[in-house]
Amino acid sequence: MRIVVIGAGLLGLTTAWFLRRHGGEVLVIDRAPGPGRETSFANGGMLHASQANPWNEPGVLRHALQMLGKEDAALLFRLRALPGMLGWGLRFLHHSHPSRYVRNFEKNAQLARYSLSLMHELRTAIGADYDHAARGTLKLFRDRAGVDAAARLCERLAAWDIPFEIVDGAGAVRLESALAPIAERLAGGLYFPADESGDAYRFCELLAAAAAAEGVRFAYGTTVKRLLRSADCMLGVSTADGAYHEADAFVLAAGSYSAPLARQLGLDVPVRPAKGYSITVPGAAWEGRPRMPVIDDFLHAAVCPLGDRLRVAGTAEFAGFDLALTPSRIANLFTLLKQLYPAIAPHLDPTHVEAWAGLRPMSADGVGIMGETSVRKCFLNTGHGPLGWTMAAGAGKLVADAIVGSGPALDLAAYRLARFR
Ligand SMILES: Cc1cc2nc3c(=O)[nH]c(=O)nc-3n(C[C@H](O)[C@H](O)[C@H](O)COP(=O)(O)OP(=O)(O)OC[C@H]3O[C@@H](n4cnc5c(N)ncnc54)[C@H](O)[C@@H]3O)c2cc1C
Q: What is the pLDDT of residues 231-280, one digit of tens each?
A: 999 999 999 999 999 999 999 999 999 999 999 999 999 999 999 999 99
State the pLDDT at residue 169: 94
Strand partners of residue 137: 192
Ligand 1 and 387: CB distance under 6 A: yes
The residues, any chain, with a CB within 8 Å of residue 149's CB and separated by 6 or more, are: none
State the pLDDT at residue 86: 87
The residues, any chain, with a CB within 8 Å of residue 333's CB and separated by 6 or more, are: 277, 278, 279, 301, 312, 313, 314, 315
Ligand 1 and 49: CB distance under 6 A: no
Report which DSSP code applies to 133.
B
Residue nearest to atom 22 of ligand 1 (CA): 388
What's the mean pLDDT when you consider all of the chain? 95
State the pLDDT at residue 205: 98
State the pLDDT at residue 71: 72
CB neighbourhood size of 306 (10 A): 23
Q: What is the pLDDT of residues 328-341, one digit of tens each?
A: 889 999 999 999 99
State the pLDDT at residue 341: 95
Average pLDDT value for residue range 210-235: 98
Q: Which atom of ligand 1 is nearest to the CA of 304?
A: 8
State the pLDDT at residue 92: 93
Residue nearest to atom 30 of ligand 1 (CA): 39
Distance 200 CA to ligand 1 centre (A): 10
Between CA 89 and CA 82 the distance in angstroms is 9
Q: Give the range of the structural domain holding residue 211, as residue numbers without chain letter.
A: 2-419
The residues, any chain, with a CB within 8 Å of residue 124's CB and separated by 6 or more, are: none
In terms of residues, how long is the chain? Answer: 421
Confidence of residue 163 (pLDDT cuts 50, 70, 90): very high
Residue nearest to atom 21 of ligand 1 (CA): 40
Distance 179 CA to ligand 1 centre (A): 31
State the pLDDT at residue 70: 74
Average pLDDT value for residue range 39-67: 92
- The counts of H helices and E strands in the chain are 10, 20
Q: What one-letter code names the amino acid at 139? A: K
From 4, 15, 29, 40, give the residue whose CB has the most ligand 1 atoms within 8 Å, as the site to mutate: 40
Distance 385 CA to ligand 1 centre (A): 8
Q: What is the 3-state secondary structure (H, E, C) of 234-295?
A: EEEEEECCCCEEECCEEEECCHHHHHHHHHCCCCCCCEEEEEEEEEEEECCCCCCCCCCCEE
Q: Is 228 exposed, middle or buried (0-12, 13-18, 19+ CB in 10 A)?
A: middle
From 389, 391, 399, give the residue whose CB has the most ligand 1 atoms within 8 Å, as the site to mutate: 389
pLDDT for residue 77 is more than 90:
no
Smallest Cα–Cα separation from 51: which of 390, 313, 329, 409? 390
Residue nearest to atom 44 of ligand 1 (CA): 30
Q: What is the pTM of this model?
A: 0.97
Q: What is the pLDDT of residues 61-76, one digit of tens each?
A: 888 888 777 777 777 7
Contact assessment for residue 248 and residue 1, using Cβ atoms and an 8 Å cutoff: yes
Ligand 1 and 293: CB distance under 6 A: no
From 14, 38, 280, give the residue whose CB has the most ligand 1 atoms within 8 Å, as the site to mutate: 38
**Which long-range CB contacts under 8 A does 282-286 form with residues at least 24 apart?**
282/308, 282/309, 282/349, 282/352, 283/308, 283/309, 283/310, 283/344, 283/347, 284/308, 285/347, 286/343, 286/344, 286/347
State the pLDDT at residue 246: 98
State the pLDDT at residue 186: 92
Q: What is the pLDDT of residues 192-204, one digit of tens each?
A: 999 999 999 999 9
Ligand 1 and 273: CB distance under 6 A: no
Q: What is the pLDDT of residues 121-135, one digit of tens each?
A: 999 999 999 999 999
Average pLDDT value for residue range 315-323: 91
Q: Report the C-alpha dihedral over residues 285, 291, 296, 300, rounded to 10 degrees.
A: 70
Between CA 69 and CA 78 the distance in angstroms is 8
pLDDT for residue 39 is more than 80:
yes
Residue nearest to atom 5 of ligand 1 (CA): 44
Distance 290 CA to ligand 1 centre (A): 26
Residue 190 C-beta-side C-alpha neighbours within 13 Å:
26
Q: What is the pLDDT of residues 365-403, one digit of tens each?
A: 999 999 999 999 999 999 999 999 999 999 999 999 999
State the pLDDT at residue 121: 94
Confidence of residue 325 (pLDDT cuts 50, 70, 90): very high
Number of domains the chain contains:
1
Distance 92 CA to ligand 1 centre (A): 20
Distance 126 CA to ligand 1 centre (A): 20
Distance 148 CA to ligand 1 centre (A): 33
State the CATH number of the domain containing residue 362.
3.50.50.60
Q: What is the pLDDT of residues 164-211, one digit of tens each?
A: 999 999 999 999 999 999 999 999 999 999 999 999 999 999 999 999
Considering only 111-115, 155-159, 265-269, 358-362, which range has the smallest mean pLDDT?
155-159
Smallest Cα–Cα separation from 276: which of 17, 38, 25, 32? 38
